Amino acid sequence: MVGSYSEVTMLKGIARFRSAVLPGTFISFSLLAFAFLLFFTLYTSQDGSLFSELDNRIYGLLKFTLYQAFLSTILSLLVGVLLAWALAHQSHFRGRGLLVALFSSSLVLPTLIVVFGLIGIFGRSGYLNQLSMFLFDTSFGAYLYGLGGILLAHVYLNASFASRALLHSFESIPKEKYKLAKSLNFSVLERFLFVEYPALKSTLLSIGSTIFLLCFTSFAVVLLLGGSPNYNTLEVAIYEAVKLDFDIGMALKLALIQLSISAVLVVLSSSFRTGLANLKTSHTLIPWKEPKVLRVVQWFIIGLFTLFFVLPLIVIFLDGIGADFGCILKEPLFIKSLITSLSLATVSSILTVIIALLLSNARRNFTLPTRLANRPFAKVLDAIIAFSGNLYLAIPSLVLGLGFFLMYQKYDGSEIVWATAALLTANILMSLPFALSVLTPAMHKTAQRYDKLAFSLGLSKVQRWFYVEYPYLKSSLGYIFALAFCFSLGDLGIIALFGSDEFSTLPWYLYQLMGSYRTTDAAGVALVLLVLVLGVFMVIPRLLKEK
């Protein structure tokens, strides 16, 4: 079989890969160069306070930031593993696919809206306290504010996202292993330790580091639920340096501290191997049922988490439904913001998909032994590409925005053009790490599986794409598109410096309504945004589902 294709085809193949890695490598170096330019722009626009002393408060903040990110990550993974475990063993119930898709939307839900939803349930006068007042005549009080609230919100946002990736790892375990475990009479714990845990390990590491980064740079959640400056993060200090003290040097220094700590984790999270692979949920059944006690436990976990996840969304829905939609939808600024948001989201998600494809393609060429893995520098280049794609998880969006703004000042141009470019770039950069984590393993697999066949058939690039790659990657691409689209829809970071009446997005408009007593309208707009995000996130991947 191996001898059936000659040295010549092999060499031809390699020549083809060599040109195929060019776009990906180029983009990767541009990403790094851009990050450098960003920090350089900031560096040149400050006045030497870069080397001024950090006060003790900053060390305190750093300590708390690491502490809460660590706790949030551990808790999110714990809940994520439990949920994925329960879902993996209850693999055939009605609406399971929908539930899994809903859980994974947590990543793209606009944070500020979610936090207000959580407050509606768990807040001081939330439904939980109201219920307890009604039943037992006591209230749990303001338990939500403080470290507890931060952890709760972070688990809400990240555990569900983790569970989806972990669920895939559970499902990739060969059923034979389960059979073996049963014949050896393993207990649940033994089964988990010897059969399931080895399959989860690499996902736990990569997902864990991503979650850590997300919590490390968390801003809106920490400010609203933290309760006091005790519970602030480094990102808040950056905000303070930029906004109130106008100390760009300080902001830059804090951003560099944050970046250097995150860099280690970025390297970890770039090493997605089996990662999220393709996101289809397999329906192969294990031919026996779980013991009854376990089934009850699993159902309890699924039920409890579904309640935890869905109730805050219902609160947002109930809050918003009373708004006067006839009025909101007719408001010219709303229409303008909606159009801007949708156009930006469309363009940035298309670009994200293209860039992710090019980067993943370059990576698989550098890592597969049948391709360029044995060439000099292949390992280094692969690492660089992986790093560049994930780098922007570690750069605070405020710093990104500031950098853009300073560049706009330096290099002339119309504000609208710059604002558009800034928002597009920022959205692409933010979606890229997640897009790559989905696409890279999937593309790796198609190459592993079909390379020999494709070369022996002598398929052209176009043919190969249509007959081999596209059908296999379709669902991943749909997922990435939806992800980037929703990220872009919900973003409130970069727009803060560029937003104006002439250039407004939906979240920006929502924030403006909140800032001028218009809470009912704001709740209505929040509902529109939520429906939009959930709609896109649930529908688009389904349209492109593998048959």
Residues that bind other proteins (CB under 8 A): 57, 60, 116, 119-120, 123-125, 141-142, 145, 223-230, 239-240, 242-244, 246, 331-333, 336, 339-340, 343, 346-347, 350, 405-406, 409, 416, 420, 496-497, 499-503, 511-512, 514-519, 522
User: Looking at beta carbons only, is 77 or 513 nearer to other proteins?
Assistant: 513
Question: Would you list the DSSP string of 199-248?
Answer: HHHHHHHHHHHHHHHHHHT--HHHHHHH-SGGG--HHHHHHHHHHTS--H
- Cα atoms in the 13 Å half-sphere on the side-chain side of 67: 12
CB of 375 to other proteins, least distance (A): 36
User: Looking at beta carbons only, is 28 or 232 nearer to other proteins?
Assistant: 232
What is the dihedral angle through the alpha carbons of 295, 299, 305, 306, rounded to the nearest 10 degrees?
Answer: 150
Residue 159's H or E segment, with its range, is helix 147-171
User: Looking at beta carbons only, is 104 or 232 nearer to other proteins?
Assistant: 232
SS3 label, residue 500: strand
Q: Which residues pair with 444 in a beta bridge?
A: none
CB of 243 to other proteins, least distance (A): 6
User: Looking at beta carbons only, is 170 or 334 nearer to other proteins?
Assistant: 334
Decide if 229 contacts 212 (C-beta within 8 A).
no
CB of 145 to other proteins, least distance (A): 5
Question: What are residue 110's phi and psi, to 5 degrees?
Answer: -60, 120
Decide if 414 contacts 338 (C-beta within 8 A).
no
User: Looking at beta carbons only, is 436 or 494 nearer to other proteins?
Assistant: 494
Q: Which amino acid is at 174?
A: P
User: Nearest-CA neighbor of 161 among 83, 264, 218?
Assistant: 83
> String of b and e for 270-288 (b: at least 16 CB within 10 Å)?
bebebbbbbbebeeeeeee
CB of 526 to other proteins, least distance (A): 11
Residues in the chain: 547
CB of 183 to other proteins, least distance (A): 56
Decide if 546 contacts 280 (C-beta within 8 A).
yes
Distance CA 393, CA 433 (A): 7
Structure-token pair, residue 122: 């768990």
CB of 231 to other proteins, least distance (A): 9
Give residue for tokens 């109730």.
311
Residue 420's H or E segment, with its range, is helix 415-457
User: Nearest-CA neighbor of 181 among 167, 194, 164, 200?
Assistant: 194
CB of 537 to other proteins, least distance (A): 21
Residue 429's H or E segment, with its range, is helix 415-457
Structure-token pair, residue 47: 């006045």
CB of 476 to other proteins, least distance (A): 22
User: Looking at beta carbons only, is 272 or 509 nearer to other proteins?
Assistant: 509
User: Looking at beta carbons only, is 48 or 515 nearer to other proteins?
Assistant: 515
DSSP secondary-structure letter at 143? T
User: Looking at beta carbons only, is 374 or 409 nearer to other proteins?
Assistant: 409
CB of 438 to other proteins, least distance (A): 24
Distance CA 397, CA 50 (A): 20
Decide if 86 contacts 301 (C-beta within 8 A).
yes
Give residue for tokens 């090019």.
358
CB of 105 to other proteins, least distance (A): 23
Distances (CA, A) of 50 to 55, 235, 402: 13, 17, 16
User: Looking at beta carbons only, is 265 or 406 nearer to other proteins?
Assistant: 406
CB of 353 to other proteins, least distance (A): 13
User: Looking at beta carbons only, is 199 or 225 nearer to other proteins?
Assistant: 225
CB of 483 to other proteins, least distance (A): 19
User: Looking at beta carbons only, is 80 or 149 nearer to other proteins?
Assistant: 149
User: Looking at beta carbons only, is 375 or 518 nearer to other proteins?
Assistant: 518
